[in-house]
Amino acid sequence: MREHRLEVADVFRTYEKEFFAQWGHVLGAHQRKAFAAIRDCRTAVLGGHVEYVEQCDTCGYRSICYNSCRNRHCPKCQAVARAKWLAEREAELLPVPYFHVVFTLPRQIGNLALQNAREIYRILFRAASETLLTIAADPKRLGAEIGFLAVLHTWGQNLHLHLHLHCVVPGGGIRPDGLRWIECKKPSFFLPVKVLSSRFRRLFLTYLSESFRKGRLNFHGDMARLAQPATFEALCQQARRIPWVVFVKAPFGGPEQVLKYLARYIHRVAISNRRLLSMEDGLVNFEYKDYAGRNQTKVMTLAAAEFIRRFLLHILPSGFVRIQQFGFLANRARAKKLALCRTLLSAPAPHKVTKEKLGEHERKLCPACKIGHLLLVRLIPRPRAGLDSS
pLDDT tens, position by position, 319-362:
999 999 999 999 988 999 999 999 999 998 877 765 555 555 45
What average pLDDT does this structure show over 134-143? 96
Residue 46 pLDDT level (bands cut at 50, 70, 90): low
| CB proximity list for 237: less than 8 A, separation 6 or greater | none
- pLDDT at position 47 over 50: no
- pLDDT at position 197 over 70: yes
How is 116-175 classified by DSSP, letter by letter? HHHHHHHHHHHHHHHHHHHHHHSTTTT-SB-EEEEEEEEE-TTSSEEEEEEEEEESEEE-
CA–CA dist 105, 1 (Å, integer) = 47
- pLDDT on residue 109: 96
Question: Contact 151/269 with Cβ under 8 angstroms?
Answer: no
Of the chain, the percentage scoring pLDDT greater than 70 comes to 87
For residues 46 and 284, which has the higher predicted lDDT (pLDDT)?
284
- pLDDT on residue 59: 82
- pLDDT on residue 65: 65
- pLDDT at position 208 over 60: yes
Residue 57 pLDDT level (bands cut at 50, 70, 90): confident
Residue 37 pLDDT level (bands cut at 50, 70, 90): very high
CB atoms within 10 A of CB 196: 24
- pLDDT on residue 114: 94
What average pLDDT does this structure show over 25-50? 81
Strands 323-327 and 147-155: antiparallel
- pLDDT on residue 92: 85
CA–CA dist 21, 305 (Å, integer) = 9
* Topology (CATH level 3) of domain 92-270+313-344: Replication Protein E1; Chain: A, (3.40.1310)
262-271, 272-281, 352-361: the lowest-pLDDT one: 352-361
What average pLDDT does this structure show over 363-389? 62
- pLDDT at position 3 over 60: yes
- pLDDT at position 49 over 50: no
CA–CA dist 57, 63 (Å, integer) = 12
Question: Contact 45/387 with Cβ under 8 angstroms?
Answer: yes
Question: Contact 144/173 with Cβ under 8 angstroms?
Answer: yes
pLDDT in tens, 9-34: 999 999 999 999 999 999 999 999 99
| CA 363 vs CA 17, 25, 53, 379: distances in Å | 36, 41, 14, 17
Of the chain, the percentage scoring pLDDT greater than 90 comes to 64
pLDDT in tens, 78-105: 776 777 788 778 888 899 999 999 999 9
| CA 150 vs CA 103, 116, 124, 185, 262: distances in Å | 10, 20, 11, 23, 10
H helix or E strand, kind and range, residue 55 = strand 50-56
- pLDDT on residue 254: 74
Residue 35 pLDDT level (bands cut at 50, 70, 90): very high
- pLDDT at position 2 over 60: no
- pLDDT on residue 389: 38
What 3-state DSSP class applies to 16?
helix
- pLDDT at position 161 over 70: yes
- pLDDT on residue 390: 36
What average pLDDT does this structure show over 133-149? 96
Q: What are phi and psi of 206, to 5 degrees?
A: -65, -50
Ordered by start, the domain boundaries in the chain are: 92-270+313-344
| CB proximity list for 51: less than 8 A, separation 6 or greater | 44, 64, 65, 66, 67, 379, 380, 382
| CB proximity list for 305: less than 8 A, separation 6 or greater | 15, 18, 19, 22, 23
Query: What does the mean pLDDT of the chain come to?
Result: 87
pTM of the model: 0.87
Q: Identity (one letter) of the amino acid at 127?
A: A
